[in-house]
Structures are given as structure tokens and as C-alpha cells.
Structure 1
Amino acid sequence: MSERPDLRFNLYLSCRSGLMDYASRLLGSREAAEDVVQEAFLRFVPAGRTQATAPPPRAYLFRIVRNLAVDYLRRRTHETRSKGRNAPDWVEPQPLPSPEETVLFCEDVRRAMDMIAALPPNQRIALEMVRFGGYSVEQVAAHLDLSVPTIYRLVQTAVATITLRLRQDPEAVPPKRGRP
């Protein structure tokens, strides 16, 4: 003979405040106690145990809360320990940039693109093909009809020029060549 769920629900409602106090003392947090007591309700009400094998319902309900509270504390301890370890950066979610950081980043990209556009044509083409296009130095040398060491020098000079310009005056953007 099994108890009906509405009797279990009524027992849960009559014990809820005592369960909350009990769970709060175990967990040290009213919010965590609320979660544990709700989980206990979900485990208690649909249970179809017979009266002969089931422990007294009130004691059984408190035991469910105690076991869930212990599980919660173990999980929290484990999470705290794992956060304390030197986990690789890719394990933790990266913080989202603020809108201001996004605007500043976009402005830096725009300035760098303006600086690339202001480079001499062979330097610009070599830099764009090697760094952004994924072409090999040999392919760029064949395209520009230059030697491989010259392409290395052009790319290295272009990167150095842009780096120096960004460090010298981050707000200054050189005028574009060949355009009025």
C-alpha cells in the first residue's frame, strides 16, 4: 500500500519551515537551503514506497534534506579546490570585453589598417599576402617577381614600421599614399 502524493505534499508543506531552518544551519546559506529543500520535495513526493518498507515520512524527509546538503557541500568544496589549482586558461570561460574595450579595439584595428594602407605597395602586398592571405613567401616572391630574401625583408620592414608607429604615437595615423 503506497501513500498518495497529496499526503506527501501536505507533509512537505507542514515541515517546510523546519526543513529550511535545518538546511540553512547545515549550509550556512538561505539561498542554498531553498535549492536543497526544493530538490528534497522533488525526491520525496513522487516516491512510491510502501508503508511497510518506508521509514517514517517526516524523518525520511529530513534525511533527504541532510543527504542533499552534504552532497551540495561536497560539490562546493570540490569546485573551490579545482578553482584553486592552476588550471589552464582555456578551462575557464574568458570574460567578455566591456563596450569601451570593444570600441578601443576596433579603433586600434582601424588605425593599424590605415597604417598598412599607407605602406609602399610592395611592402603592403607582401605583408597582406603572407600575414593575412596565407601565402608562402615563395608564392609571394613569384607573384611580385622578387627574390625570397627580398620578400622576407619587405614583410619584416612592414611589421617593424607599423609596430614603431603604433608605439610612437598611437593617435597619429600616417597619410595614405597615392590618394588625395
Structure 2
Amino acid sequence: MSIDEKLQLYLSHRAALVEYALPIVGDRMRAEDVVQEAFLRFAPGRPAPGDPALDQPLRYLYRIVRNLAYDLTRRRRLEQRHREAEPDWWMVPETPRTPEELLAFRQKLRQIDEVLAEFPPRVRLAVKMHRLGGFTLQEIADRYGVSVNMVHRMIRDAVLVVARRLSSDD
């Protein structure tokens, strides 16, 4: 199937594909984005013999839309859960009331900084951007040119190491 045939197939079914994605993603704008992304994944490839893209291209396009829509929905839920989660105690600004508390607080900050110093600069910056700067995982992923899942894993792994080290020191 040539690129022109794929484009024609896409254009003739675009509205139906958007309607298909709409209940999964929840709003028309996201459904449009999913359908456009699906076309970008559908169009350039040269399918191998026996590939569903060759046998049933419309069905294959619908499957791409469905998979992308569910991926987007899962990612949005994960980010929402992450935003709503109670922050770790060591990430919440604290106002020490006594000189002893101030000293203990500074020691904890120093420990956190020492643990984060063991990570590559890219991971350290991602943790600080997300946890302190309020950047979303998508914004960090765009900056580094990697997937949101990769950024999530980098931050999660670093935060887990920090939490383990701090809990083992207590």
C-alpha cells in the first residue's frame, strides 16, 4: 500500500477514528491528537508480507488508534496520581523551630544532596525539575528527548534510593 493510498484511507475515515478514540481519551482535542499520531505511525512503514497493515489496513489503523488512546489514558492517570500523592516528608518545606531542628534539617538536606550527587547530572536535574520545579514528566521528557516512561523511571529510581538511604540512616 503506497503512502497516497494510506493517506486516502486515513482521510476518508478520520472522523470515525476520532469518534472511536473520543470515549477512551475523554475529550475531542486529545482524540484528534491520538488520531494524528496514529497516522504518523501508520503511514511511513512498509509492512512485511502477512502483516495486518497489509491485509487489513483500516483495521490496523483502528488498532493503532486504540492502543495510543489507552496509552495516553494510562499516562494521564499515572501523572494525576503522582500529582495527587502526598509528597515525601523530605520534599515538604519545613520551618525549624529550634536551633537543633534547624541543624537536623540541614543535615537531612545535605544527605539528600549527597545521595543525588551519586546519580548522573541528567537524573539529578530531572528529580529537581520535577520535585522542586514543578515540571511535568512530559515537559522533562520533551527537554531530554526521551519517553515519559523513561523520565518516570529515572525519577522514581532516584527518589527510592534517597528514601532508602534516609530511612536506613534514621
Query: Residue 9 of structure 2 aligns with which residue?
Result: 11
Partner of 1:93: 133
1:21-36 paired onto structure 2 within 5 Å: 21-36=19-34
Identity of aligned residues (%): 43
Matched residue type, 1:25:
P
Q: Counterpart of 1:48 in 2: which secondary structure?
A: coil
Distance 1:73 1:25 in 2: 11
2:43 partner amino acid: V
Q: Deviations over 1:74-125 (max 9, x none)?
A: 0001001111112335615369xxxxxxxxxxxxxxxxxxxxxxxxxxxxxx
**Larger CA Rg, structure 1 vs 2:** 1
Aligned length: 93
Q: Deviations over 1:9-45 (max 9, x none)?
A: 1000001000011111221100110110110010011
Distance 1:21 1:92 in 2: 39
- Unaligned ranges ≥5, structure 1: 96-180
- Aligned residue in 1 for 2:59: 59
Q: Counterpart amino acid of 2:38?
A: A
Aligned position for 2:73: 73
State the TM-score, normalized to the length of structure 2. 0.50
Structure 2: gaps of 5 or more residues: 93-127, 136-170
With over 3 angstroms needed to count, the CA separation of the structure-2 counterparts of 1:6 and 1:51, relative to structure 1, is farther
**TM-score scaled by structure 1?**
0.48
Measured in 2, the distance between the counterparts of 1:30 and 1:10 equals 22
- Return the structure number with greater relative CO, CA threshold 8 A, min gap 6: 1
- 2:84 maps to which residue? 84
AA in 1 matched with 2:25: L
SS for the counterpart of 2:51 is coil
**Match among 47, 50, 59 for residue 49 of structure 1:** 47
- How many angstroms does 1:51 deviate by? 5.3
